[in-house]
Amino acid sequence: MLRSPQLSPPTAVHGAPAVMGDQELFSEVLKVQNKIFYLDLKQNGRGKYIKIAEKGKYRPKSSVVVPLSGLHSFIQLFDFYLNSDGAGPQPRDVVVESKVFNFSCGENDRGRYLRIFESGGGYPAGGSSLMVPAGWANANIRAFRDSFEKIANWLNQSGMPSTEMSAGLALSSQPDCVTLDVSKEGGPVLSVGSKHYFFDTRLNDRGRYLKIKEVSGNMKTLLVVPAHAVGKFQEAIQLAMMAQPRPDHPAEVGGQQQA
C-alpha cells in the first residue's frame, strides 16, 4: 500500500507479473509528491522495454516507452542530473534505436523538475513527456535512478543481462558533437548536437526512395529523395559546401533557417 507523500521520500512497491498482453517482468510504483509513476519492464515479440507512466493531479496521464538498449544511458543521465544545482545544466539527448529522448531541467511554482521528452518512434508528430519533481536534494531523481538500477540488477540475477549503453548518448556541452548510431530498423542515425537525422530506404509503387527524417526536440521534418536522384543529391551537397557561404538574412537569424 502506498503511503502519503507528505514530507516523505518516494516509496516503491513491487507488482506481480501480468499474464495478459505484453508480459510484465518487473514493476516499480513510485509515489512522488502529488504524482504516481509506474515503471514496468515488459517484453513482447519485438523485445524488452521499460514503460514509464505518470499520473498526477495537474497533468493528464502520460507515458514514455524506453527500449531496453537505453537502460544504461538513462542511468547515466539520471546520475548527471543528480549533481545539478539551480535550474540545472543544458538539455541532453539520447538516441535509442528509432527514438530520441530529451532531458531538461526547469522550475515552476511547484518547484524544480526534470522533464523527459520522447519523440520519434511511433509518434508521427510531437511526442510524449514526463515531469519528475526534483524534490529536496534531487531525492525524486535519485529514486528514478535507483529504480532503473533495480531493473538492471533484476535482469542480471535472472540470467538476462541488460544490453550495453547506447552510442547515441550526448552528455558533452559542445553543441556540434557528432555521433553515428544505428536505428532499430537498421538504418543510420546521425546526431549533431540536439538534432538527429534518421536515414531509411523505402519502396512504394513509384520505386525506391531515401527518406531522411530530422528530429529536434518536439519538431520533426521529413525529406524524400527518389533513389535515382540520390547521386545528384550528394553532388549538390558537395557543390553547396564548396561555395562561399552567404550570411543569414536578419529576419532568418534565430528562426528555422539557422542551424
| Residues 21 and 140 both lie in one domain | yes
In this predicted structure, what is the pLDDT of residue 111? 83
- Number of independent structural domains in the chain: 2
Q: Do the domain assignments include residue 6?
A: no
Residue 169 within any structural domain of the chain: no
Q: What is the pLDDT along the chain (259 residues), one digit of tens a residue?
A: 344 333 344 545 454 444 456 899 999 999 988 899 999 999 998 889 999 999 877 677 889 999 998 899 899 889 888 876 555 567 888 888 878 888 988 888 878 889 999 987 654 445 788 999 887 778 899 999 999 999 999 998 887 765 554 444 545 444 446 788 887 777 888 887 667 889 999 999 999 999 998 887 656 788 999 999 999 999 898 888 888 888 765 444 444 444 4
Selection from 10, 62, 65 nearest residue 34 by Cα = 10
Contacts for 152 with CB less than 8 Å, ≥ 6 apart: 71, 72, 75, 162
Q: Which 3-state string (H, E, C) describes 148-188?
A: HHHHHHHHHHCCCCCCCCCCCCECCCCCCCEEEEECCCCCE
The residue range of the domain holding 78 is 11-157
Question: Is residue 186 assigned to a domain?
Answer: yes
Domain membership of residue 123 (yes or no) is: yes
Is 121 found in the same domain as 87?
yes
Q: Could you tell me the pTM of the whole model?
A: 0.61
pLDDT in tens, 154-211: 998 887 765 554 444 545 444 446 788 887 777 888 887 667 889 999 999 999 999 9
Contact indicator for 104, 115 with CB cutoff of 8 Å: yes
Instruction: Kindly state whether residue 26 falls inside one of the protein's structural domains.
Output: yes
Mean of the per-residue pLDDT values of the chain: 77
Q: Which of 58, 99, 56, 259 is nearest to 185 (CA)?
A: 99
Whether 130 maps to a domain, the answer reads yes
For residue 179, what are the CA distances in angstroms to 43, 51, 214? 28, 26, 14
In this structure, the answer to whether residues 205 and 105 fall within a common structural domain is no
Are 146 and 25 in a shared domain? yes
We report the CATH number of the domain holding residue 230 as 3.10.450.700
- Side chain identity at 127, as an amino acid letter? G
